[in-house]
């Protein structure tokens, strides 16, 4: 009963190109993933590393928490920012999200 069905299935040759469909599809998927996820993420990491390394005293910055302030002291791993009169806070340099144009804090009333 099962033997006749097995012979019938083996009699048909595979469709043309069927052997290459899966490998080509896998390579296509990997290329798609590289250009949509991996490459943009590496670009963002590189831009952030350049931003963190270019920080200087007096720069106005935005932190990942949303806090804004002016840099008053820098070290290799940390940055001290002035957020208000007589209020200085210490953060890791990696938490700086962006540098703001000069005078942004004055325009906001900070």
CATH code at position 86? 2.30.30
pLDDT of residue 4: 56
Phi, psi of 90 (to 5 degrees): -110, 130
Strands (E), the chain: 60-63, 68-74, 78-84, 87-92, 96-100
**Domain count within the chain:** 1
Q: Which domain holds residue 100?
A: 55-108
List pLDDT tens digits, range 66-107. 999 999 999 999 999 999 889 999 999 999 999 999 988 888
pLDDT of residue 6: 56
- Is the confidence at residue 7, as pLDDT, over 60? no
* Per-residue pLDDT band at 11 (split at 50, 70, 90): low
Is 38 contained in some domain?
no
- pTM assigned to the model: 0.70
Distance CA(59)–CA(56), nearest Å, equals 6
| CA-based nearest residue to 38, from 98, 51, 46, 48 | 46
């Amino acid at each position: 009963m099962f033997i006749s069905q097995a012979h019938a299935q083996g009699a048909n040759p595979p469709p043309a190109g069927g052997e290459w469909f899966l490998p080509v599809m896998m390579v296509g998927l990997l290329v798609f993933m590289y250009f949509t996820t991996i490459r943009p993420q590496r670009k963002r990491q590189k831009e952030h590393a350049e931003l963190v390394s270019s920080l200087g005293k007096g720069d106005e910055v935005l932190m990942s928490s949303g806090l804004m302030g002016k840099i008053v002291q820098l070290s290799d791993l940390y940055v001290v920012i002035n957020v208000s009169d007589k209020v200085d806070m210490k953060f890791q340099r990696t938490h700086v999200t962006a540098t703001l144009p000069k005078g942004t804090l004055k325009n906001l009333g900070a």
